[in-house]
């Protein structure tokens, strides 16, 4: 099975670097052994949305292909469609799965956002202290339904992967700085002339100041001008305001993506 959607084609940049992709014909097994907490680094990608009778079948496959080999505390499924087809997910939702609906956006040119922030300096990270700032910023932006201890370790492992990718020349991690303080950050990683954004976040204390749009715009310019990228791709929560920010600098919705994830939820 070969991924056809733009969203999943660029998702696979990352497990191709340091994980595993196993082709089972009707589905792909995506593995990131160094970060078992990563839901969308350890999941099954099917050709089509679920049918009601797939509930137990898909769970059994996940256990056989992933949970029996890695210390995971989640179950995650995606399907390689482009119009946001949800299928019959009722049995999954009834069992505590969360439905993730995303929009896949892309562009081959960008424009400055209307709310351009002239105070922040945008540049690739340099040195241990800046990478640590990025980790701290990512953790500060976590969603409240994720356990802080588990999420912290997940982010440490994830950012270690991204740092290895930057050292290998696969991409860059960018920070938005006010003085010496990082207030927003993101990554851009490429394969051939196509690149994918990762983990775009702005610290809660610095939102609604035009920083995110400015960061996306300037890092995109860097990718086009210095990384020989022709097409930029990013994925955003369909119901979150960030998609509008990305559209404001020139990104255009191309696909809709749906997935299912369950995880052991702990009180904070």
Do the beta carbons of residue 195 and residue 232 sit within 8 Å? yes
What's the length of the chain? Answer: 268
Q: Report the C-alpha gap between 180 and 12 in whole angstroms.
A: 34
Helix (H, G, I), strand (E, B) or coil at 252: strand
Compute the CA torsion angle 138, 216, 80, 265 (nearest 10 deg): 20
pLDDT score, position 118:
97
Domains of the chain: 6-101+258-263 (3.40.630.30), 121-253 (3.40.630.30)
pLDDT digits (tens, 9 = 90+) for 197-222: 999 999 999 999 999 999 999 999 99
pLDDT score, position 239:
74
Angle formed at CA 126 by CA 121 and CA 128, multiple of 5 degrees: 125
Q: Report the C-alpha gap between 93 and 189 in whole angstroms.
A: 33
Residues 6+ apart with CB under 8 A from 142: 148, 151, 155
> In the chain, pLDDT over 70 holds for what percent of residues?
99
Q: Report the C-alpha gap between 247 and 93 in whole angstroms.
A: 31
User: Quick one: pLDDT band at residue 147, thresholds 50, 70, 90?
Assistant: confident
pLDDT score, position 266:
54
DSSP states of 154-222: HHHHHHHHHHHHHHTTSEEEEEEEETTEEEEEEEEEEETTEEEEEEEEE-GGG-SSSHHHHHHHHHHHH
Residues 6+ apart with CB under 8 A from 6: 82, 104, 106, 233, 254, 255
**Which tokens go with 5?**
């959607």
Provide the β-strand partners of residue 74.
Answer: 263
pLDDT digits (tens, 9 = 90+) for 167-196: 999 999 999 999 999 999 999 999 989 999
Do the beta carbons of residue 113 and residue 245 sit within 8 Å? yes
- Asked if pLDDT for residue 134 goes beyond 90, the answer is yes
Q: Report the C-alpha gap between 174 and 195 in whole angstroms.
A: 14
pTM confidence score: 0.93
pLDDT score, position 268:
31
pLDDT score, position 242:
79
- pLDDT mean over 241-259: 93
Q: Report the C-alpha gap between 178 and 183 in whole angstroms.
A: 7
């Amino acid at each position: 099975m070969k991924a056809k959607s733009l969203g999943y084609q660029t998702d696979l940049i990352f497990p191709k670097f340091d994980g595993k992709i196993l082709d089972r014909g009707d589905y792909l097994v995506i593995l990131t052994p160094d970060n078992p907490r990563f839901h969308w680094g350890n999941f099954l990608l099917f050709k089509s949305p679920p049918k009601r009778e797939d509930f137990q079948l898909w769970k059994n496959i996940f256990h056989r292909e992933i949970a029996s080999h890695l210390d995971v505390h989640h179950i995650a499924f995606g399907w390689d469609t482009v119009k946001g087809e949800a299928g019959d997910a009722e049995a999954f939702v009834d069992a505590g799965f969360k439905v993730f609906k995303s929009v896949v956006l892309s562009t081959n040119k960008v424009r400055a956002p209307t709310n351009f922030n002239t105070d922040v300096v945008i540049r690739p990270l340099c040195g241990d202290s800046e990478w640590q700032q990025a980790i701290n910023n990512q953790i500060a932006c976590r969603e409240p339904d994720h356990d802080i201890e588990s999420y912290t370790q997940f982010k440490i492992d994830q950012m270690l992967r991204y740092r290895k990718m930057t050292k290998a020349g696969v991409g860059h991690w960018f920070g938005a700085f006010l003085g010496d303080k990082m207030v927003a950050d993101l990554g851009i990683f490429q394969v051939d002339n196509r690149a994918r954004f990762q983990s775009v976040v702005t610290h809660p204390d610095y939102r609604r100041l035009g920083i995110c749009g400015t960061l996306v715009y300037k890092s995109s310019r860097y990718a086009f001008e210095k990384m020989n990228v022709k097409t930029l791709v990013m994925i955003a929560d369909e119901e979150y305001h960030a998609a509008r920010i990305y559209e404001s600098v020139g990104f255009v919705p191309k696909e809709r993506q749906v997935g299912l994830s369950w995880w052991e939820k702990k009180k904070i």
